[in-house]
Chain A
Amino acid sequence: MITKIAWRNIWFKPLNTLLSIILLTASVAIITLLILLQNQFEKKFNSNIDGIDLVLGAQGSPLQLILSSVYQVDAPTGNINYTEAKKWMDHPFVETAIPLAFGDNYRGFRIVGTTPDYLKKYDAKIQQGKIFSTNFEVVIGSAVAEKMKLKIGDTFFGSHGDSEEGEVHKDHAYKVVGISAETGKVVDNLILCNIQSVWAMHDHDHAEGEEHSHDEHEHHEAAGEVHNHDEHDHDHENEEAHNHTEEIQISEEGKEITAVLIKMKNKPALLSWQFMIPMNTKMQAASPGKEINRLFGLFGIGLQALQYLAYGIMLISGISIFIALYNTLKERKYEFALLRVNGASRFQLLALVLIESLLLCITGFLFGTIVGRIALVLISGSSEEEFKMSFNPLEFVWEKEGYLFLLTIFVGILAAVIPAVKAYSLNISKTLANA
Chain B
Amino acid sequence: MISTRNIQFSYGKGTEFNFPDITAQRGETLLITGGSGKGKTTLLHLLGGLLKPQSGEIRIEDTNLPTLSDKKLDRFRGQNIGLVLQQSYFVESLSVEENVVLASWLATGRQAVQKARQLLEQLGLKDQMHKLPSQLSIGQQQRASIARALINEPKLLLADEPTSSLDDENAFIVADMLSGLAKQYGTALVIVTHDQRLKDRFSNQITLS
Task: Enumerate chain A interface residues (CB-CB to B < 8 A).
Answer: 1, 5, 8-9, 11-12, 334-335, 337-346, 348, 428-429, 432-433, 435
Contact A341/B92 with A1-B105, A429-B45 known, Cβ cut-off 8 Å: no
A245→B48 CA distance, assembly (Å): 107
Give residues 26-82 of B contacting A (CB, 8 Å): 41-42, 45, 48, 50-51, 70-71, 74-75, 77-79
Contact A335/B148 with A342-B102, A343-B74, A345-B71 known, Cβ cut-off 8 Å: no
In the assembled complex, 17 residue pairs joining A and B whose CB atoms fall closer than 8 Å, in A order, are A5-B91, A8-B93, A335-B89, A338-B89, A339-B106, A340-B74, A341-B50, A341-B83, A342-B102, A342-B107, A343-B74, A345-B71, A345-B74, A348-B106, A429-B51, A433-B41, A433-B42
Q: Which residues of B contact A432 (CB under 8 A)?
A: 45, 50, 85, 160
Q: Are the C-beta atoms of A337 and B102 separated by less than 8 Å?
A: no
Q: Are the C-beta atoms of B93 and A12 separated by less than 8 Å?
A: yes
B87 at the interface (CB under 8 A from A): yes
Q: Are the C-beta atoms of B77 and A343 separated by less than 8 Å?
A: yes
B174 at the interface (CB under 8 A from A): no
A428→B85 CA distance, assembly (Å): 13
CB of B42, distance to nearest CB on chain A (Å) = 8
Query: Which of B41, B91, B105 makes the CB contact (< 8 A) with A335?
Result: B91
Q: Which residue among B85, B87, B90 has the maximum number of chain A CB atoms within 10 Å of its CB?
A: B85
Query: Which of B42, B93, B106 makes the CB contact (< 8 A) with A9?
Result: B93
CB of A169, distance to nearest CB on chain B (Å) = 72
* CB nearest neighbor in B for A432: B85
Q: Are the C-beta atoms of A5 and B78 separated by less than 8 Å?
A: no
Shortest beta-carbon contacts, A-B, top 10: A343-B78, A12-B93, A8-B93, A429-B50, A334-B89, A343-B107, A343-B106, A342-B103, A429-B45, A338-B89
B18 at the interface (CB under 8 A from A): no
- Dominant SS among interface residues on chain A: helix
Task: Enumerate chain B interface residues (CB-CB to A < 8 A).
Answer: 41-42, 45, 48, 50-51, 70-71, 74-75, 77-79, 83, 85-87, 89-94, 102-103, 105-107, 111, 148, 160
A344→B79 CA distance, assembly (Å): 11
Contact A343/B103 with A5-B93, A8-B93, A435-B87 known, Cβ cut-off 8 Å: yes
A334→B86 CA distance, assembly (Å): 13
- Beyond contacts A335-B92, A342-B102, A342-B107: 6 other A-B pairs, Cβ-Cβ < 8 A, are A334-B89, A338-B89, A342-B77, A342-B106, A343-B107, A344-B74
Query: Which of A1, A11, A340, A429 makes the CB contact (< 8 A) with B102?
Result: A1
A346→B106 CA distance, assembly (Å): 12
Q: Which residues of B contact A9 (CB under 8 A)?
A: 91, 93
Q: Which residues of B contact A435 (CB under 8 A)?
A: 85-87, 89
CB of B152, distance to nearest CB on chain A (Å) = 8
A129→B93 CA distance, assembly (Å): 68
